[in-house]
Copies of this chain bind each other. A is one copy, B any other.
C-alpha cells in the first residue's frame, strides 16, 4: 500500500464523481489484471497496460487516479492491489440479487453464464409469460409466471432486473420493476424506454452493435 491521496477520507473523491466513460473502462482493466494475476505477474506500468489494451498510458493514469494513488513512481502498479480495488469499485463479489425476465434463448444464455454467479451476481428467479416454461428451471433457477413478478419483488430485496423479453413487453416490465423499487435495469430488449425516472438503466443493444459494424464495413469497403 502506498496510500497517498491528498484527502484521507476514502469516501470523498478529490476529483469528483467518476465519469461514466471511466467507469466503462474499469471492467476492461479488471479483466486484464485478472489475466496477469493468473500468470503470476506482480506489477504493471501504465505504458504496458496501454500497449495491451490499446489506450494511451496517459489515459490509463488519468483513469486510475480516480481510485486514489495506487501506483508507485518508478515501479508501476501492483497487479493484485489494483485488481482488488477496481473489483471493489465495480461492486464485484457483493451478492447482487437479480431477477431475469424472459426465459427464451437469450435469457437461457444469461442464466447459464457461470461467471455472473461466481462474481456474486445471483439470479434468484426467472419470469416468463410462456406457460410451457413456467415451473421449469434454468440452471437451477425456477421460472415463474410473469404475473407474479410484482408480488415477488415485494417480498424479496432485488437489486437488478434483467429484461430479456421481446421488445413489445419490455416497457411494461420496466415499469413493474421501477414501481417495485428496483435499483437498476439491465436491458437487452431493443427499445429506448420512455420512462423518465432516476432508476439506472444499462442497455445491451446487441443488434444495434451489428448494424454499427455493418456500417463501418460498408464505409471502409465501398467508398
- Chain A interface residues toward B at CB < 8 A: 11, 17-18, 20, 23-24, 26-28, 30-32, 52-54, 89-92, 94, 96, 104-106, 108-110, 112-113, 115-116, 119, 121, 159-160, 183-184, 186, 190-192, 194, 196, 200, 202-221, 223
Contact = CB atoms under 8 A, between A and B. Distances in A.
Per DSSP, are chain A's interface residues mostly helix, strand or loop, or mixed? helix
26 contacts: A17-B219, A24-B208, A26-B215, A27-B205, A28-B192, A52-B192, A54-B192, A89-B215, A90-B211, A92-B214, A104-B109, A105-B105, A105-B109, A105-B113, A109-B109, A113-B207, A115-B190, A159-B217, A160-B213, A160-B217, A184-B216, A200-B216, A202-B210, A202-B213, A204-B204, A204-B206
A159 B220 CA distance: 12
User: Which 10 pairs, one residue from A and one from B, show the smallest C-beta to C-beta distance?
Assistant: A27-B208, A105-B109, A202-B213, A91-B218, A91-B214, A27-B211, A106-B109, A109-B109, A90-B211, A90-B215
Contacts of A96: 214, 217
Most buried by B among A96, A105, A183: A105
A209 B26 CA distance: 10
Contacts of A194: 52
A36 to B, nearest CB: 13
Nearest to A27: B208
B190 A217 contact: no
B24 A212 contact: yes
Contacts of A212: 23-24, 26-27, 90, 202
A207 B11 contact: no
A109 B106 CA distance: 5
A165 B24 CA distance: 23
Nearest to A24: B212
B202 A216 contact: yes
Most buried by B among A20, A112, A200: A200
A217 B105 contact: no
